[in-house]
Amino acid sequence: MPDAPLLWLDVSAGAAGDMLLAALLDAGAPLDAVRAAVDAVVPGAVRIGRRDVTRAGLRATAVTVEPVTADQPQRPWADVRGLLLAAPLDGSVRTAALAAYGALARAEARVHGIPEGDVHLHEVGALDAIADVVGVCAALRALGVLDGGARVVAGELAVGSGSVRTAHGVLPVPVPAVLELCRGWTVTSGGDRELATPTGAALVTTLAGSCGPLPPMVVTAVGVGAGSWDRPDRANVVRAVLGQPVRSAAPPTGERLDLMVLVETTVDDLDPRLWPTVLDDLLAAGAADAWLTPALMKKGRPGHVLSALATEELAPTIRRLVLDRTSTLGVRQLTVGREVLDRTWVTVETAHGPVEVKVASRAGAVVHTTVEFDAAARLAASSGLPVREVLDAAMAAAAVAGLLPGTPTPEPSRGKAKTTG
């Protein structure tokens, strides 16, 4: 069964709702599905079309969203929420659209210093903006990206600079709502005009689970969505790259290698008493492993190499922790392969009491068995025995219980493999 799809959004030239929608349509989302979802929310109110255009010499798809009924310049957030809740939408489309609009409402509330329930959505409450938000969510659903296990990653967001005229008058770019929506996100200016609209920023930052470069994937589709303006020096487009995530690679011997990220830095000026807390914080954040290696640095100074192993999804969190918890000025990141044995925990009974052991297996057969040291230490402390004696007794109990190399992998237990020793 194939993995759930992975979508990467290239928003290095900015993002607006119509650009994102156009990119997803160009990547294969059916226009009829988008029209049906929008019509479910605002029946007969909007006409949606698509056409081929060029931006800086590159082919792209452009979307037209035209209100065909009288529109109102603004809608209260409560009204938009009511429309989404009442519409006969797919549940995942409704949830995604509510998340994007909820983020917009919270951003506007913070900007204007008012309760979220009092927010009136100006440009983002108009029919074309509603169509963009619902259309993007419906397109994601059609591409399978809203299914369980699927993932959306977006690159660094270009927000622009300068000024723009809005319902609140002339505002600096990026406008305040965009900055609020981009809290915790990596942004860049990228140009001398508005590149990211509030609708685009809300969709990117709420629907993408992380901000980062193109992840390892097998590309299955590429969509290019055009913005409204064209200039020769930079294509005004959003790119949507759809594919299957590359989670493992098989070396010639046939073993499975999981692709992981190794985050490292080298430090020579951190109080050594802090290192245990740094390692604890990395492990608590979800790193698969974290360790410290002594190193001789430039000018003959002693230092340490801090290493943390994590999944690609956790890499941004791990990088931030390393930068926050140490005195380093930078980190490096490598993609590495990791082969792991299957692990099963079994409790064995010794003459001193129960001890948990970890059984490592491959292809259904035991490779080796290890006593959980902390469990042995706790039993030793409660019984007044040396830890070594408890370790030896637990290993003997595991051998008597048949937890030996080459034997079938046992079922996880709490007291099933019992013996004395």
| 118-160 confidence digits (pLDDT tens) | 888 877 778 999 999 999 999 999 999 998 778 899 999 999 9
What is the domain partition of the chain in residue ranges? 6-245, 257-338, 342-400
79 in Cβ contact with 87 (< 8 Å):
no
Q: Is the pLDDT of residue 283 over 90?
A: yes
What is the CATH class of 342-400?
A: alpha beta
Give 166's pLDDT tier (boundaries 50, 70, 90): confident
pLDDT tops 60 at residue 53: yes
Distance CA 403, CA 419 (A): 12
Count of other CB atoms within 10 angstroms of residue 32: 9
pLDDT in tens, 359-403: 998 888 889 999 999 999 999 999 999 999 999 999 998 888 888
Between CA 197 and CA 132 the distance in angstroms is 12
Which tens digit of pLDDT belongs to each residue from 267-278? Answer: 999 999 999 999
Residue 171 has pLDDT above 70, yes or no: yes
Residue 256 has pLDDT above 80, yes or no: no
327 pLDDT band (50/70/90 cuts)? Answer: very high
Yes or no: domain 257-338 corresponds to CATH 3.30.70.1380: yes
Over residues 234-248, mean pLDDT: 88
- Read off the pLDDT of each residue in 224-229 and give the average, rounded to a whole number: 95
Q: For residue 172, give Cα distances in angstroms to 22, 258, 306, 343.
A: 27, 46, 42, 56
| Residue 261 CB neighbour total at 10 angstroms | 21
Alpha-carbon distance of 269 to 284, in angstroms, equals 24
Residue 248 has pLDDT above 80, yes or no: no
